[in-house]
Amino acid sequence: MKLSHRWLARHLKEAPDPEKVALGLLQMGIEVAAVETWGEIYQEIELVEVVERLPHPHADLLSLVTVRRAPNDLVTVVTGASNGYCGDRVWYAPPGAHLPDGRVLETVTMRGIPSPGMLLSAAELGFQDTTGDLWIYHGDLPLGSRFIEEVGGTDTVYELELTPNLAVFDQSVLGIARELAAVLKLELTPLNAPLPYRKDSGLAEVKDPLACPIYGLSGFEIAGVKHSPLWMQVLLVAIGIRVIHPVVDVTNFILWDLGHPLHAFDQERVVLPIEVRKAFEGEVMTLLDGSECQLSPADLVIADQIGPIALAGIMGGQRAAISAQTRQVWLESAYFNAPEIFLSMRTHRLPTDAAVHFGKGTDPEMVPVAAQATVDILRSCGVRVNNGSSTIIGEMPIRRRISFQPDRIRSLLGVDWTNQAIIHALHGLRFEIDGDWVTIPSNRHDVSTTEDLCEEVARVIGLDMISATVPNSPNVPGSRNDEVEFQERLRDLWVESGYCEVVTRPFWAPSRDVITMSDVAATVRIKNPLRAEEEELRTSLLPHLLEVVGYNRARRDQPVAVFELAPVYERTQNHAKEPMQLAVAEILDDYPQYPKGLPEDLAIYRLKGALEWVNRRLNLGISMVTDRELPDFMHPGRSVSVLDTKNRWVGFLGELRPRVASRYHAKRIGVLSLFEVYHTQSAISGVVPSPSRYPEVIRDLSLVVPETSTVGILNGIVMDTSLSDLKSLRLIDVFSGPWGRSVTLRMVFQSNSRTLTDSEVDVQLTHLIEVLRRHGMTMRER
């Protein structure tokens, strides 16, 4: 909402300066989004007098008009206007002047004759147009005066942002003035008296008094002047409202002045009585903007005996609209039930100025006040108004009362303000306190509880006046739950392992699938996605992570190693689950660097090692096996399934098929996908062994193993042999020759109770070699 400082001053006996206004607005919670000065361009527009008018030598419709600028400067400009003769005083914009429509004037040559600047019409100055010709000035300003003086000087215009609660009562200059009066302790200018409605019968009937508690209709005749008064035009133009016709301008003015929308109908086009009723099923009307409106029984309409003439509180219909020919007017001033208007506004997507006022709630007591204000303004500007018949239907609602609990206000705010201070603050906002009761002003539909009053008191006295304290609740240490703590550790471990955390949006669409996860859960679809490729919620993290790989890979040749720990979304009939998943992706391709890293062909061991490290650090108790079925996008020779302690399949690790990896601009991509992350954690609790005081004995064992065998099988055999003093077993070399596959293990023996002798170790080794031989594994000769 725009607020003109000049307009505001009409409601305050002593208007504060613009800075003070801004401070007051801030304290009341009204956000000032912008402040601008209106009217600066009018400094450049001068009052001049026509001294000569000659026909243009080369154009029939143009004239050469010579004007006198103060003190005695003559300028000749070309004009197409049909008025402006010797002695007329008109407004002149010299070259360099700016017009409201954004034009900057310069000297132009029209049919061979240079024309410096321009003589102006009212429309060109942004005011109500009359004939399209020059705006002849009849006032008392001396020659050379600037147009800004005619409009009363510049104005400060605030762009206000109102929260929904403030919009209930603050969407008007009066509303803001009342707020400022309370906070800055100013006196308001009294409003005009209400219109004394007669109770003429046969004019109107309210069929739905719940939707329309009060309906006022007053008829009058308009004749005479066709212009709105300049002061009103200036105020409307300053807040960006176009001025059109006195009746329209006045209703716009009252809407923003008092926050009360009015509507005018052409009497000659209305067949009485008017009915305020719900629309019939299938009823249609053409609105003022020319659009067809399909009505339903949820819509409240103003109808005559032919059909609807207005969508109540939102927009008038074309059939009974005011036109230039209108002589007799029905002025409607009503009070509607806000939620009904709000619903219709939303249904028909018609957030008109009237609708956003009625839809938030208006002040019923304004019904007769606004009607009288309209008549007063029309009269004051010379429009002849003969009061005709009028009626008002419905009773003024009784102001609501709630109990006054100053102790509770103090205890909620944490202050020791006196009753007197609290009452004074509420009085400022027109609340009336009578003993134990507070009477709420008729426009404050937002107030119904003591908590609401707390806000009002705090606003008026100021939040700064409340001291900052600390809750005196008992001190309980804060905690994270185990599952979240686990997730944070998991993130840290992957970061420590060299992977960068990413955060992706959970929106997905099947059209983005490059890989297809088998047996995925049913998806949750978004009914109103922002874009087609975000039409559902993901059931797997891995595809997103691969897109991150591809995105980075398409930009630069750099290693990419990323992970994300986030929920996925699965539906089971009408319910949704949000299990956490972990996904890791890493490009394995050789990257030119010195010194060289792990060769591309073995790089997947890095990812596998990272999982093994995480597995140990967090006691996940997972195992990796090669004998389970894997997703078909995985490399069949370089992948493992991940099993939990109960041997359930909880994920997979390995390389993508190179054909799939190439879709993400890489030769080889290693991935890990882990579902049910938290529940893989086993309950095993480890005991850290004490260090041995005795020396280690080291033996390297080089074996030739069958091609069908694996290091895993070999390790298994060694562990199963239960060598009593074997402390650790480490693979130190693997290679293949014409004689088969060679595997070298480093075995470390150590006792906790004595120094081992070589012969003791050799006995154990001999036994092991014998066992291995039975499995076709022999000592390598050389």
- Residue 457 Cβ, how far from another protein at the closest point, in Å? 9
Q: Is 518 a residue that touches another protein (CB under 8 A)?
A: no
What six digits make up the tokens of 774? 């039975």
- Residue 37 Cβ, how far from another protein at the closest point, in Å? 14
Rank residues 325 and 479 by Cβ distance to another protein and give the closer one: 479
| CA distance linking residue 772 with residue 422, whole number of Å | 93
Rank residues 369 and 460 by Cβ distance to another protein and give the closer one: 460
| CA distance linking residue 293 with residue 355, whole number of Å | 15
Contacts (CB under 8 A) with another protein, residues 533-572: 534, 537, 548, 551-552, 555-556, 558, 560-563, 567, 569, 571
What six digits make up the tokens of 318? 């074309």
Residues in the interface with another protein (CB under 8 A) total 94
* φ and ψ of 524, to 5 deg: -95, 125
Rank residues 324 and 470 by Cβ distance to another protein and give the closer one: 470
- Residue 343 Cβ, how far from another protein at the closest point, in Å? 6
- Residue 425 Cβ, how far from another protein at the closest point, in Å? 13
Rank residues 235 and 415 by Cβ distance to another protein and give the closer one: 415
The site string for another protein over 443-482 (x = CB under 8 A, - otherwise) reads: ------x-xx-xx--xx---xx-xxxxxxxxxxxxxxxx-
C-alpha distances out from residue 148 to 15, 18, 46, 122, 129, Å:
21, 19, 9, 14, 18
Is 446 labeled as ligand-binding? yes
List beta partners, residue 118. 93
- Residue 591 Cβ, how far from another protein at the closest point, in Å? 12
Contacts (CB under 8 A) with another protein, residues 606-635: none
Q: State which of residues 8, 41, 157, 166 lies at the interface with another protein (CB under 8 A).
A: 166
| Residue whose token pair is 């995480």 | 614
| CA distance linking residue 493 with residue 491, whole number of Å | 5
Where helices occur in 50-169 by DSSP H, the ranges are 147-150, 164-167
| CA distance linking residue 242 with residue 724, whole number of Å | 98
Q: Is 167 a residue that touches another protein (CB under 8 A)?
A: yes
Rank residues 74 and 520 by Cβ distance to another protein and give the closer one: 520
Burial label, 757 (beta-carbon count in 10 A; 0-12, 13-18, 19+): exposed
Rank residues 356 and 515 by Cβ distance to another protein and give the closer one: 356
| CA distance linking residue 777 with residue 773, whole number of Å | 5
Q: State which of residues 138, 349, 527, 782 lies at the interface with another protein (CB under 8 A).
A: 527
Rank residues 116 and 567 by Cβ distance to another protein and give the closer one: 567
Rank residues 363 and 586 by Cβ distance to another protein and give the closer one: 586
Residues 461, 463, 466, 471, Cα dihedral to 10°: 140
Rank residues 617 and 746 by Cβ distance to another protein and give the closer one: 617
Stretch that binds another protein, among 11-19, 214-222, 497-505, 646-654 (CB under 8 A): 497-505
Contacts (CB under 8 A) with another protein, residues 334-393: 339, 342-343, 346, 359-360
Where helices occur in 319-472 by DSSP H, the ranges are 338-348, 353-358, 366-380, 406-413, 419-428, 450-461
The site string for another protein over 17-36 (x = CB under 8 A, - otherwise) reads: ---------xxxx-x-xx--
Q: For helices 18-28 and 450-461, what crossing angle results, to 10°?
A: 150
| CA distance linking residue 692 with residue 750, whole number of Å | 8
Contacts (CB under 8 A) with another protein, residues 301-340: 339
Is 106 labeled as ligand-binding? no
What six digits make up the tokens of 473? 């609740």
Rank residues 26 and 225 by Cβ distance to another protein and give the closer one: 26
Rank residues 146 and 408 by Cβ distance to another protein and give the closer one: 408
C-alpha distances out from residue 340 to 152, 260, 375, 428, 759, Å:
42, 17, 29, 31, 98
3-state secondary structure of 492: helix
- Residue 544 Cβ, how far from another protein at the closest point, in Å? 9
Count of CB atoms situated within 10 Å of the CB of 145? 19
The site string for another protein over 45-84 (x = CB under 8 A, - otherwise) reads: ----------------------------------------
Task: Using only the alpha carbons of the chain, give its radius of gyration.
Answer: 43
| CA distance linking residue 254 with residue 173, whole number of Å | 10
Chain Cα centroid distance, residue 10? 35
Rank residues 477 and 637 by Cβ distance to another protein and give the closer one: 477
Sign of the torsion angle spanned by Cα atoms 293, 356, 266, 394: positive
Contacts (CB under 8 A) with another protein, residues 586-605: 594-595
Is 452 labeled as ligand-binding? yes
- Residue 430 Cβ, how far from another protein at the closest point, in Å? 18
The site string for another protein over 199-238 (x = CB under 8 A, - otherwise) reads: ----------------------------------------
- Residue 408 Cβ, how far from another protein at the closest point, in Å? 9
- Residue 434 Cβ, how far from another protein at the closest point, in Å? 23
List, in order, residues 6 or more apart from 584 with CB less than 8 Å away: 494, 499, 545, 561, 562, 563, 607, 610, 670, 671, 672
Q: Is 400 a residue that touches another protein (CB under 8 A)?
A: no
Contacts (CB under 8 A) with another protein, residues 714-733: none
3-state secondary structure of 269: helix
Annotated binding residues for Mg(2+), written as ranges, equal 446, 452, 455-456
